[in-house]
Amino acid sequence: MIQQDLLEIICCPNCKGDLTYNEQTSTLTCASCENVFEVADGIPILLPKSDGK
Ligand SMILES: [Zn+2]
């Protein structure tokens, strides 16, 4: 679960796009750049992907 008001505040760390919560996978997906972020204990882990650099 994630709080709805928290969802409205946060945005994608890569492109500042809107994030959509997926209840089945408990992840947030960016509508713009399609990055996926995990949610741990209701806290979104909004770390930009490093792409293995
Ligand atoms: Zn994005």
pTM for this model (two decimals): 0.81
pLDDT value of residue 52: 65
Q: Which of 9, 51, 45, 13 is nearest to 32 (CA)?
A: 13
Q: Ligand 1 (ion): which residues have CB within 5 A?
A: 12, 14-15, 17, 30, 32-33
Interval between CA 31 and ligand 1 midpoint (Å): 7
| Residue 45 CB neighbours (<10 A) | 10
Residue 25 one-letter amino acid? T
Interval between CA 10 and ligand 1 midpoint (Å): 11
At 1-53, the pLDDT tens digits run 788 899 999 999 999 999 999 999 999 999 999 999 999 998 999 987 666 66
Interval between CA 14 and ligand 1 midpoint (Å): 5
